[in-house]
Amino acid sequence: MSNFYVRGVLANLITLAILLACMFIPAGTLNYWQAWVFAAVFEVSAQALGIYFLMHDRKLVERRMNIGPMAEQRPGQKLISTPFMLGFVGFVMLPAFDHRHGWSPVAPVVSVIANAMIVLGRVVN
C-alpha cells in the first residue's frame, strides 16, 4: 500500500475519532442513537465521495488531504478556513449538548429525515 493511501486511511480514522468525540463527550453517553446514525451517514458518504474522486480526480484528493488553517498558504484562506472548521465542530457539538440537557426534544422521524437529506445532498452533489 502506498504512502498516499496510508495517509488517507489515517486521516479518515483521525477525522472519525474527532467526530465521535465531538458528539459523544458533550452528550455524556454512548446511548445516543441519533449520533451513531449521523456518524454512519457522514462516514459512508465521505468514503463514497473519496472513492469516487480517487477514481476520477486523484489530484483533487491529494490537494484536499491537507486541510485547515495550517495547510492554507494565503492569509485570506486561513481566515476563512478557521471559522469554517470551528463552525463544523459547533454544528456537531450543539445537538450533543442538547441531547444531554434535553433542551429541545425532537421526534425520531425528524432525525431520520435529516439524515436522509444528508444522503440525498451527497448523492445529488
pLDDT tens digits, one per residue of 58-88: 888 777 776 666 666 777 777 787 888 889 8
**What pTM was estimated for this model as a whole?**
0.82
Tell me: the pLDDT tens digits for 11-20?
888 889 999 9
Mean pLDDT of 102-118: 93
Place of cell 440525498: 120
pLDDT digits (tens, 9 = 90+) for 29-55: 999 999 999 999 999 888 888 888 888
- Report how far residue 119's alpha carbon sits from residue 29's, in angstroms, rounded to the nearest whole number: 25
Distance CA 45, CA 58 (A): 18
Q: With contact defined as beta carbons under 8 Å apart, do 7 and 65 qualify?
A: yes
**Helix, strand, or coil here: 122?**
helix
Please give the share of the chain, as a percent, with pLDDT higher than 70. Answer: 93
**For the chain, give me the number of helices (H) and strands (E)?**
5, 0
* 105 phi/psi in degrees, rounded to 5: -60, 135
User: Looking at 1-125, which runs of residues are DSSP E strands?
Assistant: none
pLDDT band at 96 (very low <50, low <70, confident <90, very high): very high
Query: What phi and psi, each to the nearest 5 degrees, are found at residue 13?
Result: -65, -40
- In terms of pLDDT, which residue wins out, 62 or 24? 24
